[in-house]
Structure 1
């Protein structure tokens, strides 16, 4: 597929913005104290993120449906994506993730103002470990993203063509099975873009953006994505 910068940037930007708007939105719905959805639980968040992926993939479908830098880099390693296209994909993904998080904040502005728990405020935007250990937290993200990429490549060997639905259900499954330790970023843009939004937005009473942890949901997914792509290339 011969794509220009504009062909890549616009759909990927919009797709990733939709991803984080809906993904951060389901977290806000489930955890912010004044939300009607308070207490919706982990499975609500899992399904919400899965449906966010479903929507984002459809929006970005014309340019390859890349809404995750780990997927883009993994596909470049595997040979499906041209390395020359990777910078445009990454720029669109991180910019879109930031904008989607900002729009989510606008939708929940009063609820953020009423929220006294700084951890919940940050938790809407970015992931964080339940037990903080950078090495093991990184391994968790490697494993989750490895599963994501390897199974995505496995879809290509299936006779069934269900569009974005299998990927959405895969994300739900990864969250339900492997998301407990770190909140399963499995997508560097999904974490870094909203974390920057948390840092910059005038959120009343907010705490720090936990930059000491921010490298884990970037490095872990990239390593996991590359490993998943390499194994898929070796097998398929």
Structure 2
């Protein structure tokens, strides 16, 4: 398997499990309905870990344009390969969202809220405030990229790193995710939002493209700042 295909498959797995847990919690008549924020954050953490285990040895399991750019900034990934990885991540995220739509096929019709349906695919702020929402995404992704780079500098038992990164995702979700839903990944938001826009989802509303730039710009800025901070402070 090529690195390009690895990023597609890994990001698809990430979205199947990540958006999948959101669907289970927010869509009506699922057995996990109203299971709560803890379930969502734990599900996303496990989604990242499982996707990383699946393709880490193939593509490095970036699964996130903000991380790909951050790794390039610190010299751990070639800039020439950044566009290819980002395209693969967006494709994988879109495909993963399509699978989630199919998985919950009868539940869209029995869920009345268009906002809940969009929430399965894409993020939205608890309180709409563009500047504050952007800052939240910057801070969350700063912690993500800095945390991943710091984790990578430690020695763990073989195969443990993806599990530790999964716990980092859980921590970010619990501590920082309540404001915007912690996209912290442009592909994770854009790909599924695009799927929401084109899929025949029963009773769906608009895809809120007016907000969509925030979970793209915020993570890119935050990831770059996290990488630069690591490079300036942690590296000799």
Q: So what's the TM-score if we normalise by structure 2?
A: 0.96
Structure-1 separation of matches of 2:63 and 2:211 = 22
- Cα deviation, 1:163-191, whole Å, max 9, x if unaligned, reads 20111000000000000000000000000
1:115 maps to 111
1:36 maps to 31
Structure-2 separation of matches of 1:156 and 1:25 = 28
Task: Verify: 1:56 aligned to 2:54, yes or no.
Answer: no
Structure-2 separation of matches of 1:100 and 1:170 = 22
SS of 2:136's partner is helix
2:88 maps to 92
Whether the aligned pair in 1 keeps the contact of 2:151 and 2:161 (CA below 8 Å) is: no
Kindly state the Cα deviation for residue 83 of structure 1 after the two structures are TM-superposed: 0.5
Kindly state the Cα deviation for residue 57 of structure 1 after the two structures are TM-superposed: 0.9
2:64 maps to 68
2:212 maps to 214
1:201 maps to 199
From 151, 157, 165, the counterpart of 1:155:
151
- Cα deviation, 1:47-97, whole Å, max 9, x if unaligned, reads 000011011112221111110110001111111000011111001100000
Whether the aligned pair in 2 keeps the contact of 1:24 and 1:125 (CA below 8 Å) is: yes
- Cα deviation, 1:110-164, whole Å, max 9, x if unaligned, reads 0012211101100000000001011110000000000001111111221224220
Which 5+ residue runs of structure 2 have no aligned equivalent? none
Which 5+ residue runs of structure 1 have no aligned equivalent? 1-5
Number of corresponding residues = 231
